[in-house]
Chain A
Amino acid sequence: MSQTTTRRIATLETARAWTTVCQQQDLVSNSGVVVWHDGAQVALFYLPGAEGQTLYAIDNHDPQSGANVIGRGLVGSIKGDLVVASPIYKQHFRLEDGSCLEYPQQRLRVWPVRLNEGVVEVGSD
């Protein structure tokens, strides 16, 4: 990552508080793990090969089944959007904003997240 990009992110995000949730080595490439964060279950998806953002934080709770399973879904891309498929009823959520491809009324919370020197940090939103 170039210096200019890093600096831009830094200036944009100075106001945000960052909490360490786990180590980079806890992540599984191209797949999800779940962290307990401030009373919430946050699924972290790590896509080292993706262009742009490589780490996403999204609610682990699947609104359709009511189970906490999103972190165990398959990630993929559909029509240009990176998505995760719920492992129970297979509906897809955009990693970017948590919106659901099939059911507009379902939407998952997303968190700002970053890798900072081997540590995964989740930001306040």
Chain B
Amino acid sequence: MNSNVAALNKLQTLIVIGNGMVGHHCVEQLIERGALEHYRLHVFSEEPMRAYDRVHLSEYFTGRDAESLALSEASLYQTPGVTLHLGVPVLEIDRVRREVITAQGCVGYDKLVLATGSYPFVPPIEGAEGDSRLVYRTLEDLDAIRAAAANARRGVVVGGGLLGLEAANALKSLGLEAHVVEFAPRLMPVQLDDLGGFALKTQIERLGVGVHLSRATQSISPGEQYRYRMNFANDEFLETDLIVFSAGIRAQDALARQSALEIGPRGGVVVDGQCLTSDPNIYAIGECASWNGSVFGLVAPGYQMARGVAAQLCNEVAEPFMGADMSTKLKLLGVDVGSIGDAHAHTPGARSYQFIDEASASYRRLVVDASGKHVLGAVLVGDNSYYDTLLQYMQNAIALPSEPASLILPSSEGAPTLGPGALPESATVCSCHNVTKGSICSAIDGGCTDLGLLKAQTKACTGCGGCAGLLKQVFEHELIARGVSVDKSLCEHFAYTRQELYALVRVEGLITFEELLAKHGRGHTGCDVCKPAVGSILASCWNQPIMDTSLVPLQDTNDTFMANMQKNGTYSVVPRIPGGEITADKLIAIGVVAKKYDLYTKITGGQRIDLFGAQLHELPDIWSELIEAGFETGHAYGKSTRTVKSCVGSTWCRYGVQDSVKMALLIEDRYKGLRSPHKLKFAVSGCTRECAEAQSKDVGVIATEKGWNLYIAGNGGMRPRHAELFATDLDDETLIRYIDRFLMFYIRTADKLQRTSVWRESLEGGLDYLTEVIINDSLGLGDELEAQMQLVVDRYECEWANALKDPEKLKRFRTFVNDKRPDPDIHFVQERGQRRPIMAAELNLIPVTEEIA
């Protein structure tokens, strides 16, 4: 009890000024991260209503009430330790005494977060007052607009930017004849170019909204037909009953100025990457903050800042704010508008492709770099279906096709396709549960932003799990498309990607999970995501036996028991048959084992033999007999080298030009036991007829008259991909050197559970880049990659042979540690001369006494 009292006394006071979207997000994040254990939290809001959704403000006029726009239940601010002061503006910050002063008194603070947002800029215009000087920012502003509209016929918005067009939409939905007056010669001057602005103007005018460009309002006087008259240059004028100003925002930095915090050149409280102001106890986030001279007027960067500050205040590691991508995609007055990256082609050397359809007033512009290889930006008006693909091209620096214009040209198949963003809504992502991309999107639209939750909701990836990679890509892609930033952390225990963890393990020479977790992770347990991933990294780096005490708890069940678990909890066993070449004696040995343990036997696609139906306690006996007969483990259970498939080659085949079996044996012997982000399949064909199907493998080798052609990053499976020709006519030594480098570079840089094909597609610079790194050694990594591979090769040991030597490791291979019986719930039936697991439907029909154990 005493300690609790002491803890209470030790609580510091944290004040958040502002309860807009960003301020609210910060509060949510603080509570979620446990800040209330360290702080009493006070939130001050000038507005009388708790935080609401400003992005959807215009829906206030189409039926949504204030409460439904609120961002949280009222109860959040009733959490003990949290006090929300609504309608209480902060008048002053006394930085010396560390107090904020309000009309109701002073509150001391230890830490302060400014989230005061922005205010609408209204240019000083003679005669602007009352209903001719409305703004569009808060619910109170909207109430004022609604009141003014009650007796009005026409309304004008000054400002043709994003918010101005939103406001025009709001006026339209109030039943007014709406007009937009813009100072610049085009609409949305920040996001669109001239032609884009023109297309948007045309479409908006077709909707009955008046658009007046290059007009500066000089004064407002009483009107004749309507209440007011707006006077422009050259005696032009426009009459209206109300005027809404939406001519841009300014950071609300008055408090900061007053308390002499550093202010940016164009307004806003200067912050660093930690969102700290010039006072180490004061943070600023959202639209009131100026980072690197810029104020970010979108909600996503504001949220990013809020999360970073909440994390720091809870003593968590926070990623520094490094600016934000201001690409946007929206529907304004029902018209699709998209703007990506350098939409104006400001980058030196930038070149553009443009597509104009005057009939539908659609416009698309693609901005590419001087080399013509990468997307720098884009402008879209009228059809945002191109947005996702173009954004992918830019964000991932994906190499452009030879005809970049094809990306914006209309085609009978609709917008061009690329990766997950381009999959149609109807595409099946998870074939086990028939989950389409469309249903994943609806789950996300329904508020699901957690991959685990998404799986539970849609059942995607809860079947065979083969779609895990694709699901993650689609999920992340869809989140990004919705303006949510995607957390690339491996899991809740590591705020790093697999690649980053790999670098930490290698650079710091870490050899256990515990070391890595203690130095770079959180908690002391880990989970089923990070443990196998780290287990794989450790194996890739150091290749210690996976059954070692410290490594066992990291392995997925298949790696733990060095066999593949099947649906009824029994295992299948795959001995290595290098290159698919096997002697009669070894075939007999497999047959003997299969017969003795009554194992179902099937030939695999990788030219080996799979033995099914072994129980846990039978595995060591089965393996000692297989090892006795000269077999090694086939690693069919691991994310590691599987097989090297081969044709019979020049030894027997009349067409063969090289000894493909010999090469397959060389490759399989070298890379067996190599653990990697995902499984690795190889093949060697003895001639161009390609009987070994090498072009569907991670590494494919095809014989030529002069040597070997090397193909890389092919894939069978659910998303087949042809391997790409990487190098031609190699001698044996060079071939192995390139494969060494390729595999180690993949292991070093790939994401968790990413096949070489997906990795290669996500690689910036594509095949050319890989050629530079592997063949031309552009990074100077060649020797290092080869040395790392040699270490793994030198340390190879058959894991099963290793385990059988150690009684301690065998301890685990017991179905029950206190009883010799097998699992009594495992039942088989005979089919086509072998046994197979009984099916649930059959189970009920068979009396217990007739079960075959």
Contacts and interface: CB of A to CB of B under 8 A. Distances in A.
Interface of A: 21-22, 26, 28-31, 33-37, 41, 47, 49-50, 61, 65-69, 72-79, 82-83, 85, 87-92, 101-103
A31 B491 CA distance: 20
B552 A103 contact: no
Interface stretch (B216-224, B519-527, B699-707): B519-527
B30 to A, nearest CB: 17
A68 B525 contact: no
A47 B525 contact: yes
Contact of A67 (B567, B812, B821): B567
A92 B552 CA distance: 19
A34 B565 contact: no
A67 B527 contact: no
Given A74-B556, A75-B553, A87-B565, 14 more contacts: A22-B817, A26-B817, A26-B818, A28-B552, A30-B553, A31-B560, A37-B818, A50-B524, A50-B525, A65-B567, A72-B560, A73-B557, A76-B531, A88-B569
Contacts of A34: 814-817
Given A67-B567, A83-B527, A72 B561 contact: yes
Given A69-B569, A89-B462, A102-B456, A36 B816 contact: yes
A90 B465 contact: yes
B87 interface: no
22 contacts: A21-B818, A26-B811, A26-B818, A31-B552, A36-B816, A47-B525, A61-B825, A65-B569, A67-B825, A68-B823, A69-B557, A69-B569, A74-B532, A75-B525, A76-B528, A87-B558, A87-B565, A88-B565, A88-B567, A101-B452, A101-B456, A103-B456
Contacts of B455: 102
Contacts of A33: 812, 814, 817
A22 B465 CA distance: 35
A22 B818 CA distance: 6
B394 to A, nearest CB: 35
Interface of B: 452, 455-456, 462-463, 465, 492-493, 523-532, 549, 552-553, 556-558, 560-561, 565, 567-569, 616, 811-812, 814-819, 821, 823, 825-826, 840
Contact of A35 (B523, B528, B818, B826): B818
B555 to A, nearest CB: 8
Given A35-B818, A77-B523, A89-B462, A68 B825 contact: yes
Main secondary structure of the interface of B (DSSP, over half): loop
A34 B825 CA distance: 14
Q: Which 6 residue pairs across A and B have the least CB separation, nearest first?
A: A76-B527, A67-B569, A87-B557, A30-B553, A36-B819, A85-B528
Given A49-B525, A50-B525, A28 B815 contact: no
B787 to A, nearest CB: 32
B812 A77 contact: no
Contact of B549 (A29, A66, A72): A29
A49 B552 CA distance: 15
A89 B567 CA distance: 9
A91 B462 contact: yes
B817 A35 contact: yes
Contacts of A69: 557, 565, 569
A61 B777 CA distance: 53
Contact of B526 (A26, A28, A77, A90): A77
Contacts of B556: 74, 87
A33 B557 CA distance: 12
A69 B564 CA distance: 13
Contacts of B552: 28, 31
A39 B450 CA distance: 39
A37 B818 CA distance: 9
A76 B525 contact: yes
Contacts of B821: 36
Nearest to A76: B527
A106 B610 CA distance: 33
Nearest to B529: A76
A43 to B, nearest CB: 10
A113 to B, nearest CB: 13
Contacts of A37: 818
Nearest to B457: A102
B497 to A, nearest CB: 19
A35 B816 contact: yes
A67 B568 contact: yes
Nearest to A79: B492
Contacts of B616: 72
B170 to A, nearest CB: 41
Contacts of B819: 35-36
Contacts of B549: 29
Contacts of B818: 21-22, 26, 35-37
A109 to B, nearest CB: 15
Contacts of B569: 65, 67-69, 72, 88
A82 B525 contact: yes
Contacts of A22: 817-818
Nearest to A66: B840
A41 B565 CA distance: 18
A50 B529 CA distance: 18
Contacts of B530: 76
A39 B825 CA distance: 12
A89 B531 CA distance: 17
Nearest to B570: A67
A47 to B, nearest CB: 7
A78 B527 contact: yes
A19 to B, nearest CB: 11
A98 to B, nearest CB: 17
Nearest to A100: B456
A42 to B, nearest CB: 9
B586 to A, nearest CB: 30
Contacts of B531: 74, 76
A72 B557 contact: yes
A26 B816 CA distance: 10
Given A22-B818, A102-B456, A31 B553 contact: yes
Given A28-B812, A65-B567, A76 B823 contact: no
A49 B553 CA distance: 13
Nearest to B530: A76
B246 to A, nearest CB: 42
A31 B527 CA distance: 12
B556 to A, nearest CB: 6
Contacts of B524: 49-50
B50 to A, nearest CB: 26
Contacts of A83: 527
A101 to B, nearest CB: 8
Nearest to A91: B462
B101 to A, nearest CB: 39
Nearest to A104: B456
